[in-house]
A and B are shown apart, each in its own frame.
Chain A
Amino acid sequence: MASSENNILLKVEDLKMHFPIYKGLIRRQVGAVHAVDGISFDVMRGETLGLVGESGCGKSTTGRAILQLYKPTAGKIVFDGTNLVSLKSEDMRLMRRKMQMIFQDPYASLNPRMTVGEIVGEPLLVHNIASGREVDEQVAHLLEIVKLNPSFSTRYPHEFSGGQRQRIGIARSLALHPSFIVCDEPISALDVSIQAQVVNLLEELQEQFNLTYLFIAHDLSMVRHISNRIAVMYLGVIVELADRDTLYEKPLHPYSQALLSAVPIPDPFAESKHKRTILQGDVPSPVNPPSGCRFRTRCPIAESVCAESRPEFRELNPGHFVACHFADRFL
């Protein structure tokens, strides 16, 4: 993956997303959920960047803030040279043609009162791309692309299985020919038997339409197959970012190591070398995240410096970023 500047499709710089918490009769702000707390990364044209972390660590919030479904508290999101944060709302609305989202819950993400045809065709109407018969034709084509029967377009979402619904959602996200898609745990709500089909479909579509993916998942086993690079997130920050193979073979952050040790390894020889790190305790609340390193309350190698200063997100090897004071030990 060449890292020259014009290969970067999306650049996220120091993105923060805090949700205020209000209390009392006059709704005074008493605090904030630090859902995303200063993350930076690039997504290259045509690649799949996996974003992994336990549930509640801010992955969906990151995806939504990138697509401006939330107004970020701070930071820049530069897409194809345009900073989305400073766009006027009408300009952003037009920009949405280039960036789409596939949602986690195939049941909640389709309007139960609309037919499949209306759902998949809506983007075309919203942006005046087609009308009348053209919409029907394009919808039929989109359904074929995601390997659904075009005759399904007159039916309602409740008549379909989870996997079929997810395909409908994928068809909707493709309608505007976007170049970038945030896939927010698109397979974690599906039966294991269907997960592989959907991942394969996403890979085919990527090839066919030159798509760039930000692929969110809550465990490392799901992103291994599809990702080129992987970012590991913990409690609102990215702790490690590396090539897929590097991350799996030589994780440098204690949290990535712990996540990896939870992934079953097919190679028995690897298994013997593999020491298991079991994570202790729960994820702390994002309302009052720990000082210094966020992971220190659960880190097996934490020292006093970890409570005092926040470890810098630094490039230890070319393309391999880690936020840990002691990551050099694992080099």
Chain B
Amino acid sequence: MTNTTAAKQQKLISEGDSGALRSRSPWRDATGRLMRNKASVTGLVIILFFTLLTIFAPQIAPHNPLQLNSGQGFLPPSWVEESGNGTKGIPDYPLGTDTLGRDALSRIIYGARVSMIVGFAPTAIILLMGTFVGMMAGYYGGRWDNFLMRLTDIMYGFPDLLFFIITLVALRDTWIGEFMNGLFLLFLALAVVNWVGVARLVRGQVLSLKEKEFVEAARSIGAKDSRIMMKHLLPNILGPIIVQGSFAIPSMIITEAILGYLGLGLKPTTDPEAFFITSWGSLLLEGQSAINAQPYLLLAPAICVALVVLAFTFVGDGLRDALDPRMRGTQ
């Protein structure tokens, strides 16, 4: 070790060549990787498409989804020359009509509203709740933690579908069950079952992160707990939370479809003022009862559910890879 003059002589050191690198935030880095993933981009396009459908349903739908056309029930899609019951498709009803002569395409377009909102709203709730409780449990431990872990054990031990059916049936006719045509109760039930998964994920991440030296460094400069949680822990677990959320969305959509098929969840309405008129789950139920007369009534909503679920799963996969810290800085 030489004297300090050597150190004094060296001016502003730039070890390595990082001086030539353009600075990019980890988030922008991840976005770039996501955008280079073809499946994810396809998924995003599909999601965007259905999102636009839900917003502009009144402008896009060719007919009023509630309008009855007596004598025009069970029409096949327009490209079918002769269906099982001898009717012929007409261009006015691209996907045909249901038993009451309502336009199938318009009903599917309006039904997309429920699927999209069922995907996003309960997911937003579980991410907020799960992150808050998981953060408290992981950071403070003790009573919060015990409470969360016992609750999780109970939740995991109880079959989800049974829980949905029991709550949706039991509360069906209360004010909560009537609110938003039953959608609100559905959101609640979905959230109650799913938030613990997020909480556990967050708890685990916080437990391992809070031992890291940069968290210790934050404490040693005198940062308060709230700052440590918001500035140091949260940004570092946002990746896994986003991935978990992107996989929760399709599972919520499928659950809605199953419950709708069982006649639970949204109550189909005939009120023309209602925002949520029908759901893909309800359409599946209607289509299934007419499977011989007009199979497309079942097929079309089933394809839509599959398409949207697949799209979200592609995006989820892409996000998981893009946010993987081992991928940082790669192209």
Contacts and interface: CB of A to CB of B under 8 A. Distances in A.
A29 to B, nearest CB: 15
B15 A156 contact: no
A176 B235 contact: no
Contact of B236 (A100, A112, A159, A225): A112
Contact of B4 (A94, A155, A159, A204): A204
B26 A194 contact: no
A111 interface: yes
B233 to A, nearest CB: 10
B216 A64 contact: yes
A109 B217 CA distance: 7
Contacts of B23: 115, 154-156, 159
Interface string A90-121: 00011011001101110011111111000000
B16 A225 contact: no
B328 interface: yes
Contacts of A163: 13, 15
B12 A147 contact: yes
Given A127-B222, A176-B221, A108 B11 contact: no
A245 interface: no
A204 B8 contact: yes
Given A108-B213, A148-B13, A201-B7, A96 B328 contact: no
A123 B214 contact: no
B197 to A, nearest CB: 23
Interface string B227-251: 1000110011000000000000000
A160 interface: yes
A126 interface: yes
Contact of A200 (B4, B21, B216, B235): B4
* Chain A to chain B: the 3 pairs with minimum beta-carbon distance, closest first: A200-B7, A96-B222, A109-B213
A203 interface: yes
Given A156-B25, A156-B26, A149 B7 contact: no
A278 to B, nearest CB: 26
A279 interface: no
A115 B26 CA distance: 10
A108 B14 CA distance: 21
18 contacts: A69-B220, A109-B214, A109-B216, A110-B214, A111-B232, A113-B26, A115-B23, A123-B221, A148-B12, A149-B19, A154-B23, A158-B26, A160-B16, A161-B18, A172-B221, A197-B10, A200-B6, A204-B4
A127 B223 CA distance: 8
A126 B212 CA distance: 20
Contacts of A159: 18, 21, 23
Contacts of B170: none
Interface string A173-197: 0011000000000000000001011
A104 B13 contact: no
Contact of B18 (A67, A110, A114, A160): A160
A197 B21 contact: no
B146 to A, nearest CB: 9
A228 to B, nearest CB: 16
Nearest to B24: A156
A197 B220 contact: no
Interface residues of A, number: 51
Nearest to B234: A113
Interface of B: 1-2, 4, 6-8, 10-16, 18-19, 21, 23-26, 212-214, 216-224, 227, 231-232, 235-236, 325, 328-329
B235 A113 contact: yes
Given A112-B26, A156-B25, A200-B6, A161 B15 contact: yes
A199 B4 CA distance: 9
Given A110-B217, A149-B19, 6 more contacts: A111-B231, A126-B222, A126-B224, A147-B11, A149-B12, A194-B15
Interface of A: 64, 67, 69, 93-94, 96-97, 100-101, 103-105, 108-115, 122-123, 126-127, 144, 147-149, 154-156, 158-161, 163-164, 167, 169, 172, 175-176, 194, 196-197, 199-201, 203-204, 225
A244 B11 CA distance: 31
A169 B217 contact: yes
Max count, chain A CB within 10 A of own CB: residue among B24, B231, B325: B231
A148 B18 CA distance: 12
A56 B199 CA distance: 34
B1 A225 contact: yes
A97 B221 CA distance: 7
A138 B7 CA distance: 23
A158 B329 contact: yes
Contact of A122 (B12, B223, B329): B223
Contacts of B4: 200, 203-204
B2 to A, nearest CB: 7
B15 A104 contact: no
Nearest to A164: B15
Contact of B218 (A122, A200, A203, A225): A122
A111 B231 CA distance: 9
Contacts of A115: 23, 25
A103 B217 contact: yes
A100 B220 contact: yes
A68 to B, nearest CB: 9
A84 to B, nearest CB: 13
A114 B231 CA distance: 9
